[in-house]
Chain A
Amino acid sequence: MKFLLVIMSLMVMLGGCSQGGGEAQPTSTPLPGTVLDPPRDVADFTLTAHTGEPMKLSDLRGKSVLIFFGYTHCPDVCPLTLAEFKKVKTELGSSAGQVAFVFISVDGERDTPERLTQYVTAFDPDFIGLTGDDSTLRTISRDFGVFFQRQNSNDTNYLVDHTASSFVVDPDGRLHIVYPFDTDPAIIAQGIRKLLEK
């Protein structure tokens, strides 16, 4: 068993290295993510979904929810992460139906539901985009430990600094796992699958 574990971690390490040789930066051993034990209660919230309808976090109860905070004017890290969410979904196969993939905008001013629709559905028709006002977002980000701050906001092309981790809310609505930016989609899929088995 121990031997198997060593082989598996070696394979994971090698996977990380070969990824580093491509367009990714040289990565060290990928982290398995931080599993919160016990899982953290997060307050329910209501945001506007890309469909224009209000959506509560509790509407997704019973599913695992994979969440990324970002904004649609972000040309680099955000499309990379949503493309990886797509890979997580593929990796999950038939279990993907029990998972919601959610992109929460930290740029409520520019990210209208229409714009979010274009953005999230470009990656997958099942992905959910959520947007809202700054004060609601501040409350949510406090619960999730997310930082976001607008830079040179007098410019219409302003940039937003933001936490680039991915968060997994378990089917009971508690924050359960936090994955660092650039975590291998296979590792995220594995973590989510474990939550679904519980």
Chain B
Amino acid sequence: MSSKRIMRLAGVWIVIAIAIATAVYVGRNTDDESARDITVRDAWVRATVPEMAATESMGGMATMEAVDTMTSLESDRVTAAYMIIENPSDDPDRLLSASSEIAATVEIHETTMDGEVMHMRPVEDGVTVPANGQVELKPRGLHIMLMGVRDSLEPGDTVTLTLKFESGRTITVEAPVRPLE
């Protein structure tokens, strides 16, 4: 084999190697495109118990004192957020935590029924979002519990939630407030 021929063959191989590398790289890039990323849809937060209801039903005595009492009572408002998390990628992911500026404490909880007894527990290991699948946070099941909600929430309001995933992804969700019922 002449040295010229060896050089030509090596050249062909290099071209092939570059082509494969490029294909792999481009393929990776497609994976990383937002279309294959985790997305959140149908997020919502239940309204907090309206505070005016109490003042009105106490004979409408909305004195400053009464309003002050209400405010202190409502310093520990609680409510829950729900949503559907979709994972179109080939790798499972896990929702590790959620946070929001509107609440002092935000935890992922799950309601389960043991016969007729309702249990609610923080989900310590996070929520798995299966590859090419979804997980639904919904009433009577998984939810994000908001504790120490700073202001009352009513329909028309929007709550910003930040979700952190095991993959390192952080997603910001705007969740509209739905009525208490």
Listed residue (A24, A75, A79, A118) with the most chain B CB atoms within 10 angstroms of its CB = A75
Are the CB atoms of B57 and A117 closer together than 8 Å?
yes
- A118 and B119 CA atoms in complex are apart in Å by 24
Interchain CB contact (< 8 A) of B118 among A83, A114, A117, A181: A181
Are the CB atoms of A73 and B76 closer together than 8 Å?
yes
Interchain CB contact (< 8 A) of A76 among B51, B111, B116, B117: B111
| Chain A positions 176 through 198: 1 when the CB is less than 8 Å from some CB of chain B, otherwise 0 | 00001110000000000000000
Residue in chain B with minimal CB distance to A73: B78
Are the CB atoms of B54 and A114 closer together than 8 Å?
yes
Are the CB atoms of A118 and B111 closer together than 8 Å?
no
Are the CB atoms of A24 and B74 closer together than 8 Å?
no
- A119 and B147 CA atoms in complex are apart in Å by 16
- A74 and B54 CA atoms in complex are apart in Å by 19
- A166 and B15 CA atoms in complex are apart in Å by 74
Which 8 pairs, one residue from A and one from B, show the smallest C-beta to C-beta distance? Answer: A83-B181, A118-B54, A75-B80, A164-B118, A122-B49, A121-B53, A117-B54, A121-B57
Are the CB atoms of A165 and B116 closer together than 8 Å?
yes
Are the CB atoms of A122 and B118 closer together than 8 Å?
no
Residue in chain A with minimal CB distance to B118: A164
- A33 and B81 CA atoms in complex are apart in Å by 30
- A183 and B10 CA atoms in complex are apart in Å by 75
Interface residues of A in 62-82 (CB under 8 A from B): 72-77, 79-80
A and B contact pairs by CB, cutoff 8 A, 25 listed: A24-B139, A74-B78, A74-B120, A75-B78, A75-B145, A76-B80, A79-B46, A80-B140, A83-B181, A114-B54, A114-B73, A117-B57, A118-B54, A118-B73, A122-B180, A157-B147, A157-B148, A159-B120, A161-B117, A162-B117, A163-B118, A164-B113, A164-B116, A164-B117, A181-B113
> A interface, how many residues as a size bin?
35 or more
Query: Which residues on the B side are within 8 Å of A182 (C-beta)?
Result: 140
Interface residues of A in 145-167 (CB under 8 A from B): 147, 151, 156-157, 159, 161-165
Listed residue (B54, B58, B138, B148) with the most chain A CB atoms within 10 angstroms of its CB = B54
Listed residue (A74, A112, A157, A180) with the most chain B CB atoms within 10 angstroms of its CB = A157
For residue A125, CB closer than 8 A to chain B, the reply is yes
Query: Which residues on the B side are within 8 Å of A74 (C-beta)?
Result: 78, 120
Interface residues of B (CB under 8 A from A): 46, 49-51, 53-54, 56-58, 69-70, 73-74, 76, 78-80, 82, 105, 109, 111, 113, 116-121, 138-141, 143, 145-148, 180-181
For residue A109, CB closer than 8 A to chain B, the reply is no
For residue A45, CB closer than 8 A to chain B, the reply is no
Query: Which residues on the A side are within 8 Å of B51 (C-beta)?
Result: 118
Are the CB atoms of A112 and B73 closer together than 8 Å?
yes
- A119 and B117 CA atoms in complex are apart in Å by 22
Interchain CB contact (< 8 A) of B105 among A83, A123, A157: A157
Query: Which residues on the B side are within 8 Å of A161 (C-beta)?
Result: 117-120
Main DSSP-derived SS at the A contact region: loop
Are the CB atoms of A123 and B76 closer together than 8 Å?
no
- A182 and B138 CA atoms in complex are apart in Å by 14
For residue A115, CB closer than 8 A to chain B, the reply is yes
Interchain CB contact (< 8 A) of A83 among B56, B58, B146, B180: B180
- Other A-B contacts than A23-B82, A76-B109, 15 sampled, CB-CB below 8 A, are A25-B140, A79-B180, A114-B69, A114-B70, A117-B54, A118-B49, A118-B70, A118-B74, A121-B54, A122-B53, A125-B53, A147-B117, A151-B121, A161-B118, A162-B117
